[in-house]
Structure 1
Amino acid sequence: MRQKLLAVTAISLLASAAANAQAKLVEKVTRQGSELVIPYEKYVLPNGLTVIVHEDHSDPVVHVDVTYHVGSAREEIGKSGFAHFFEHMMFQGSDNVADEQHFKIVTESGGTLNGTTNTDRTNYFETVPSNQLEKMLWLEADRMGFLLDAVTQKKFEIQRETVKNERGQRVDNSPYGLLSEVMAKNMYPYGHPYSWLTIGYIEDLNRVNVNDLKNFFLRWYGPNNATLTIGGDVTSKQALALVDKYFGSIPRGPKVENMKPMVPVLPTHRFASYTDNYARLPMLVKTYPSAPSYHQDQAALACLAQILGQGNNSVLYQQLVKKQLALNAGAFASPQELSGSFIFQIIPFPGKPLSEMYYLLNNALDSFEKRGVTDDDIAKFKGGYESQMINGLQSVSGKVSQLAAFNTFTGNPNMIGKLMKMYQAVTKEDVMRVYNKYIKLKHCVTVSVLPKGADEKMLVAKDNFTIDTTGYTPPHYGYDGLKYVKAKDKFDRTKMPGNGPNPVVKVPAFWKKDLNGGIKVIGTENTELPTVTLSIKIPGGHLLESNDMSKAGLASFFTDLMNDDTKNYTAEAMSRELQKLGSSVSVFSGNEDITFQVQTQKKNLDATLALLEERMFNPKFTPEAFERFKKQNLESFRMAKTQPTSIAENVFAKINYGNNHILGISGDGNEETVKNITLADIQAYYDNNMTSQGTDVVVVGDITEAEILPKLAFLSKLPNKAVTIPAIAAVPAVDKTKIYLVDVPKAAQSEFRVGYVTGMKYDATGEYYKSGLMNYNLGGAFNSRLNLNLREDKGWTYGASSYFSGGKQTGEFQFGAGIRANATDSALIEVMKEINGYTEKGITDEELAFMKNAIGQRDALRYETGFQKAGFIGNILEYNLPADYVDQQSKIVANMSKAEIDALAKKWLNSGKMNVLVVGDKAKILPGLQKLGYEIIELDSDGKPVEKKAF
């Protein structure tokens, strides 16, 4: 069904909806004109629950979102992290849903799910085949109205550990992870709702008890503080009947008043600093208070941020990065419900003090004032925003999320057209007005982030602000006397609803065409949005470098420069033209190809393809750009050596493949190999490897075969010559399991990698595909054995998973997780126990049924967006798959037996012959690992042995 971009008609009614005697229809919005709109009907139940229904019958999919207007801003000093903590607890079962069953039920229904928390709201959402709608509403209602008796002390303790691990992974164990926390404390007054992070402080998480958490739920999680949004292949009549059944009897909660904006006023410049254990380079962050979300200045501030610090036309890029005065520099406008921030971030090259960056930033702002705002600035901003808004409507989840957010924060789901008008109305005068209002001569907070061991002379200035904790009075949120009252029903909630009739899933129809020179084209028409996505894959990439591994990373470096200047456009001019069109043209490398990726609105397709042709056939490899990218790449390698996750990925590849194998080196190369690359090598790559033979073109969007083929005629200019991808070297089998250890002192977590090179190539219907099915219950699903053990039962990790990966020449098996440091040895014992248990005792009948249901029903979600359709047909072309391979996969899943799963597990999962890598604090974890009986070999962050003697 084609979605025309038409105007809004809003009908406010006080009468009851015909479909439901209790839900009042407040508003109905339909398409009647030419403006952008998401059609919906809005209802309110007697208990205060707001219900929004959006009908879209283009795919047999529904998305359910429950957004509660509560985030960390409803917390108080000493009790931070409650909102996020409760997000975790909402997945731990309720009266009628057993522990660890929420994820299982949704996954087994062929769906996906998650929850997120920020300062101002918490949301829970599921995307499922449309026949599973009733089950999803039953689940969401059960945890809204029947949760607290299922919140046990044991669950509470486990999820507290999980949240602490999440904080360790995202904040404490991450470069610059503490920056937002330091900024918030210094930006906002003591007790301000934004003066702490959503994830909270460890000491607060340690202090909280289960009754505190229950009171938080009773105060904020009532239906009158929630918006339930349902979108997709559903009717309002159907949805409202189910909503009334499952939600209508849930009692209203305490009254919730919206909070008023609380934008801080800074009387002076504030300077703060901290030392970061994981950052290799210092960072300067300068933040100004600005307007909250949906403020009249929001659009102009977003435009100002783009002009000052986003993209290669920005002031900061031109003044600092292009001149190689800074490694990275950007500006961002971040509006939130109560206040906004306008942020500058600068990372200098090694040795440069942050005071120099502060000076350069001020100079750049002076140059902006002289330069002013241009017509091109405004045209770029408007073109990009229009495309961003339209592309956000590709999926039902995207539309539902917008409706839910608009209603939660403004009370009006129909904001998309108003926002579009606001952004399209921005003028040059508006941008300068907000610059003068929020930035020029205004006080701000400047944070200096220093690497471990850095001299204090690197600071912009010494800390000059002391947080005033006097006079703080905790807000009276009304926690006293709260009572848990359950709904009384006339039906049995203990019975989980069954499935509706199975939806008809239509695999995208596609066409294929062979062009001259060996070019193959595949396409599918998708008329839901007026957009076109185009992908051109040319043979090449990382594996070509196996002929000379001393220059590994050449293909990636080549694509850096292919994204820069051309003979007729500077990089800045190219970006400017693309942004005005709201289009993108990017070039990137893979293992066996170089890809040109295009995204555009149909109306701008011809102009965008002309720019693609320029980029593809008229590159200009300048010495200045070459040196700039080389310097940036070398610094990025050095920075990666301070990040445990990056260390784990790079070192594990070297362990698996060895020092003399191309796949033992990152596709970006490393510090040693990139130093060897010359400008002549870049030119030679272009001259020798651009080819039509073996080139694949994928087209998805609002365009027919007859329309697109003439527009691809420029590809005939590709040289018709053979480019052969070398066969990769064989990898020796792992003789026995060993532990490889990389020391990262003071690491809060240990990064785990366990696995080996299987040699198993990708296939869609053979042993590779079946091995993926075999792994699903071991480590592929949220309810897999590994994740339930390490996360849900032990609370040692934020997440653990395993998977098989495969390409055209080889493949791997890998387990990965970030594990709490003091549980490192115990976690390894459990990982091996789960692998051994799976191979020795096999899959259970219940697990087999779960896998078949989950995999067998998820096809409804696989072809919704343009990118999903492109991935599907692109796979057909790249691997020469039969048109009915999805049907073949469905039959494989349906017929998969326990014996076949068990045989595959025994064949591919031998815990005695796997590589184990642990990246963490050696002082903390080595004694425990030594007790496990494995040989232990210490490596440095490059994967080189630290000493010959093993532990």
Structure 2
Amino acid sequence: MKNLLLLFALLVSTSVWCQTKLIEKVTKTGDEIVIPYEKYELENGLTLIIHEDHSDPIVHVDVTYHVGSAREELQKSGFAHFFEHMMFQGSENVADEEHFKIVTESGGTLNGTTNRDRTNYFETLPSNQLETALWLESDRMGFFLDAVTQEKFEVQRATVKNEKGQNYDNRPYGRYRELQAAAMYPYGHPYSWLTIGKLEDLDRVDVEDLKSFFMRWYGPNNATLTIGGDVEPKEVVKLVEKYFGVIPSGPQVDPLKLTPPVLESDRYVSYVDDKIRFPAVIFSYPTVPRFHPDEAPLDCLAEILGSGKSSYLYKNFVQTQKAISASASHPASELAGEFSMFVLPFPGQTLSDFEKEVRNILEEFAKNGVTDDDIQKFKANQEASTINSLSSVSGKVSQLASYETFYGDPDAIKFDLDRYLNITKEDVMRVFEKYIKGKPAVVLSVVPNEETAPAQPDNYEIPTEGKSEYPTTDYSGLEYKRPEGDQFDRSARPGLGDNPVVKVPDFWEDKFENGIKVIGTESDEIPTITLQLTLNGGHKLEAKDLSKAGVASLTASLMNEATENFTSEEIQEELRKIGSRISVGSGQTSTSVYISTLVKHLDRTLELAEEIIMHPAFNEDDFERLKKQQLEGIQAQLKDPAATASQIFQKLLYGKGHVYAVPGSGEEETVNNISLDDVKAFYAEYYSPAVAELVIVGDISKDEIMPKLDFLKSWEGKDVEIPELPKTKKADKTKLYLVDKTDAPQSQIRIGYLTDLDYDLTGDYFKSYLMNFPLGGAFNSRINLNLREDKGWTYGARSYFAFDDPEDPIAYVATAGVKADATAGAVNEFMKEIKEYQKEGISEEELAFMRKAVGQRDARSYETPGQKASFLRRIIHYDLDKSFVDKQTEIIESISKKEIDNLAKKYLDYEKMYILVVGDEASNLKQLEELGYEIVKLNEEGEPKVIRP
């Protein structure tokens, strides 16, 4: 229920007359879908939205600035995203690198994101840390510019370049969106470049340009502060007035309105990407902005054409084994939208043929039209998606902030859902005729080499110079207004309230006679139920016969296909009609069946789950198609430097002949050995209740759910023996292994070895996690601060202890993707940090930081159904009780510097580590040789080429 107030709204502040106005209050009165909130406006124009939710002792704070790359202009791209980085680099009262440190040691997590139309910064913390979050966010809103330095500017410029290298230039298909945007939008249109910006623009910009951009767009009157969680609104208002009230308004910001792009004819563009195996053809049509009446039916059209096994693209391309994947989407932004179809054909076929087939599919759809089932499935998925988005405070806060920013009303969730639930078949056909059928498109081809022809020869040259017809911003005359009038010492970090009481979820346990262990917890925050059935074994079972490695993965894939009573299409469409999800996947040590449904559809969902788990059809056609996809995927991995590095590193750690040295998807030779009979045998032997664990989380009691699980209680299966793996041979000394990726703009680095740690959540394993936290386990760890924040060589670097099964060795791993010319330097800095920490140990400051950061994390550990399920899985799998959480807390509070130092000496054995570099050999070999390690050259399969002393 919404209560709109008159112009002279309710006075809520007792400190400053009429400083803050209550604009509206929305409450929940029944079962309607609504996010309750109170909305205020400060005198400086800042919009404040408060959502009160006491279900967990956490608070989520989001500051959304209505500025993204759309406010940039020609030759000055990337500013908004650059500011996302710069705003974490300290402000007048928050020291360099302190933002991440303060939030992390408060037991919180944080980040920032930028898109075309907005930039947001957010934190999730224990509720007693609210004032800290407001202090941090207000300081960078009002007291940021004086802390900006040329040095910080240069480091972040390098970091952004590394982000572009890692996420775009060095990633398969990483550049297609850049060309797609430039071909779709007119020259100078702010959507014609990506949020990341262009490297030449980043090189062109200086620190004064950046300051001007901040002064123009980052005022409180262009921001929405949204706070949700375990809070009292009156107290929140007082704190917000205290920290944000003195910040002066910025220049007025008028809505940006641009004419949507119009294509006069098809535009064919292409580029070569030597990191891909599959060519790609992408169709893109200009459409409508967000919240336009035609957005919802266009979204429905995209689902009909490209989502699910009944979609036109899937049936014509994937099911027929012509393509490894095919999809459609309709992302809509504030100023415009694009309807896209993306097809990845198998090698050996021409993109021109695929272009014709895509056009034929559109003609086929035009003849067939929209069915009642199409509409039912779309609406069911929209309803389920909306309800699931309300499972976390951060999800609800994000929605409130987005609706306020782009719709002008936080209370838009019902309107938003209704516009999807009210669409008709006629609406979908109308938008198809208006925007897609026979309309010009950008047709983009991505090819693996010059010999592969694009769909059509390029007929459109993307402009790179000329005059822009789009409005520019006058940045002259802007003046930094330093906030004045604080009635407190802003340089002092706020004190903390009482630590919140963190309640470990209550749970119940049971065990079926056939061996299935069951654990569950009741949660009524949203009307959903999540079940996770885990079958222990997975890829590890293949140790018995490595000649058919990949059979566990292939079996799980086939479980998502036809059953004895349903075709592949029918079973998935039955699920989509009710907005439920059942998926089967295999990992290193287990196979999992994930089930998610609204409460009202539980019975039907469990009927379908029984069909999938108990009655797989294992059809020959499905098998051949999925086997082909798995083989092609294996080949595609070899093109991806990050995937190559991870796979070869596993081979170094475990050695030839070990099951973990082989990817879970298998290798080309082993997958070729697998027959359909092998899959049937794997299912018969290893899909058994004897190794099953079931986790249940949701709005249902034990008494209600247990009678519905008779199909699992009556499941019969064999006893399963999970193999004990052989001992691994450790390195006798540290060596450097080099894999050549010619001309790679980045190098992938992996460093580590198999430790002697045993898995124990209250023993050395857990304590070593604490030990590593300041070294490489946090954003402001030694490793990340060195390589990312100080050097600007990487988008991120970290280290951790990893394992797949508590019975198996635990590896220590350090990892990063770094710019090519910093490869040797990065290896050197990695090893320097590990050595120094091993020898000198943790500092008292780092010890205090770790205690606070890890000690307060539990406040946000049990919020969502997924988090609860993960916690319960650990309980049942490792035979724990709730007390392990208390024991961990005791360890965090009592562990000494001496104990941590001893753990570092014992488990950071830098003299027996594998160093792997996947990058350009020609430009890096000499510098790597100077590091003094023995170098072993490997091919892309991880086999030695040449040993160089």
Shorter-chain TM range is over 0.9
- Structure 2 residue aligned with 1:4: none
Displacement of 1:668 in angstroms is: 1.3
Displacement of 1:635 in angstroms is: 0.8
CA contact (8 A) 1:762 1:805 kept: no
- Structure 2 residue aligned with 1:783: 780
Q: Which SS does the other structure have where 2:264 is aligned?
A: coil
Instruction: Name the CA distance, whole Å, in 1 between partners of 2:401 and 2:190.
Output: 22
Displacement of 1:882 in angstroms is: 2.2
- Structure 2 residue aligned with 1:590: 587
Instruction: Name the CA distance, whole Å, in 1 between partners of 2:924 and 2:266.
Output: 43
Displacement of 1:759 in angstroms is: 4.5
What pairs with 1:170-249 in structure 2 (closer than 5 Å)? 170-249=167-246
Letter in 2 for 1:809: E
CA contact (8 A) 2:182 2:462 kept: no
Letter in 2 for 1:550: S
What pairs with 1:287-306 in structure 2 (closer than 5 Å)? 287-306=284-303
TM-score by length of 1: 0.98
Displacement of 1:478 in angstroms is: 2.5
Letter in 2 for 1:61: I
Instruction: Name the CA distance, whole Å, in 2 between partners of 1:678 and 1:581.
Output: 35
> Paired residue for 1:748, among 729, 745, 748?
745
Displacement of 1:718 in angstroms is: 2.1
Instruction: Name the CA distance, whole Å, in 2 between partners of 1:856 and 1:262.
Output: 53
Instruction: Name the CA distance, whole Å, in 2 between partners of 1:747 and 1:539.
Output: 39
CA contact (8 A) 1:353 1:460 kept: no
Displacement of 1:463 in angstroms is: 3.0
- Structure 2 residue aligned with 1:282: 279
Instruction: Name the CA distance, whole Å, in 1 between partners of 2:459 and 2:939.
Output: 35
> Paired residue for 1:345, among 342, 346, 352?
342
- Structure 2 residue aligned with 1:485: 481
CA contact (8 A) 1:292 1:336 kept: yes
Instruction: Name the CA distance, whole Å, in 2 between partners of 1:932 and 1:501.
Output: 51
Q: Which SS does the other structure have where 1:693 is aligned?
A: helix
Displacement of 1:720 in angstroms is: 4.2
What pairs with 1:798-877 in structure 2 (closer than 5 Å)? 798-806=795-803, 807-810=805-808, 811-877=810-876
Letter in 1 for 2:218: Y
2:530 maps to 1:556: no
> Paired residue for 2:39, among 37, 42, 51?
42
Deviations 1:202-256 (A, max 9, x none): 1111111000000000000000000000000111101100000000010000010
What pairs with 1:489-500 in structure 2 (closer than 5 Å)? 489-500=486-497
2:444 maps to 1:451: no
Q: Which moved more, 1:534-543 or 1:887-896?
A: 534-543
Letter in 2 for 1:849: A
Instruction: Name the CA distance, whole Å, in 1 between partners of 2:947 and 2:893.
Output: 52
CA contact (8 A) 1:661 1:729 kept: yes
Instruction: Name the CA distance, whole Å, in 2 between partners of 1:452 and 1:461.
Output: 15
Deviations 1:304-333 (A, max 9, x none): 001001111100100111111222211111
Instruction: Name the CA distance, whole Å, in 2 between partners of 1:607 and 1:153.
Output: 61
Deviations 1:562-616 (A, max 9, x none): 1000011111111111111110011111223221110001111011000000001
What pairs with 1:499-648 in structure 2 (closer than 5 Å)? 499-648=496-645
> Paired residue for 1:19, among 9, 12, 16?
12
Distance verdict in 2 for CA 1:209–1:468, change over 3 Å: closer
CA contact (8 A) 1:329 1:346 kept: yes
Letter in 2 for 1:484: Y
Displacement of 1:939 in angstroms is: 1.2
CA contact (8 A) 1:352 1:458 kept: no
Displacement of 1:464 in angstroms is: 3.2
- Structure 2 residue aligned with 1:380: 377
Instruction: Name the CA distance, whole Å, in 2 between partners of 1:643 and 1:460.
Output: 27
CA contact (8 A) 2:555 2:682 kept: yes
What pairs with 1:612-691 in structure 2 (closer than 5 Å)? 612-691=609-688
Letter in 2 for 1:478: D
Instruction: Name the CA distance, whole Å, in 2 between partners of 1:942 and 1:466.
Output: 38
Instruction: Name the CA distance, whole Å, in 2 between partners of 1:759 and 1:345.
Output: 47
Letter in 2 for 1:332: S
Q: Which SS does the other structure have where 2:331 is aligned?
A: strand
Instruction: Name the CA distance, whole Å, in 1 between partners of 2:470 and 2:421.
Output: 42
Letter in 2 for 1:467: P
Distance verdict in 2 for CA 1:665–1:22, change over 3 Å: same
Instruction: Name the CA distance, whole Å, in 2 between partners of 1:547 and 1:214.
Output: 63
- Structure 1 residue aligned with 2:948: 950
- Structure 2 residue aligned with 1:3: none
RMSD (Å) for aligned C-alpha atoms? 1.2
Instruction: Name the CA distance, whole Å, in 2 between partners of 1:876 and 1:427.
Output: 47
Displacement of 1:717 in angstroms is: 3.2
- Structure 2 residue aligned with 1:5: none
> Paired residue for 1:263, among 260, 282, 289?
260
Runs of at least 5 residues in structure 1 that lack an aligned partner in the other structure: 1-7
CA contact (8 A) 2:504 2:882 kept: no
- Structure 2 residue aligned with 1:918: 917
Letter in 1 for 2:471: P
Distance verdict in 2 for CA 1:210–1:705, change over 3 Å: same
Q: Which SS does the other structure have where 2:27 is aligned?
A: strand
Instruction: Name the CA distance, whole Å, in 2 between partners of 1:872 and 1:347.
Output: 38
> Paired residue for 1:149, among 141, 146, 152?
146
Displacement of 1:537 in angstroms is: 1.3
- Percent identity reads 54
Q: Which moved more, 1:277-286 or 1:209-218?
A: 277-286
> Paired residue for 1:110, among 90, 107, 110?
107
Distance verdict in 2 for CA 1:78–1:261, change over 3 Å: closer
Runs of at least 5 residues in structure 2 that lack an aligned partner in the other structure: none
Instruction: Name the CA distance, whole Å, in 2 between partners of 1:443 and 1:186.
Output: 12
Instruction: Name the CA distance, whole Å, in 2 between partners of 1:271 and 1:458.
Output: 9
Letter in 1 for 2:762: T
2:879 maps to 1:883: no
Displacement of 1:177 in angstroms is: 0.8
- Structure 1 residue aligned with 2:894: 895
Instruction: Name the CA distance, whole Å, in 1 between partners of 2:87 and 2:258.
Output: 29
Instruction: Name the CA distance, whole Å, in 1 between partners of 2:320 and 2:837.
Output: 57
CA contact (8 A) 1:261 1:337 kept: no
> Paired residue for 1:703, among 700, 703, 706?
700
CA contact (8 A) 1:592 1:725 kept: no
Instruction: Name the CA distance, whole Å, in 2 between partners of 1:914 and 1:277.
Output: 32
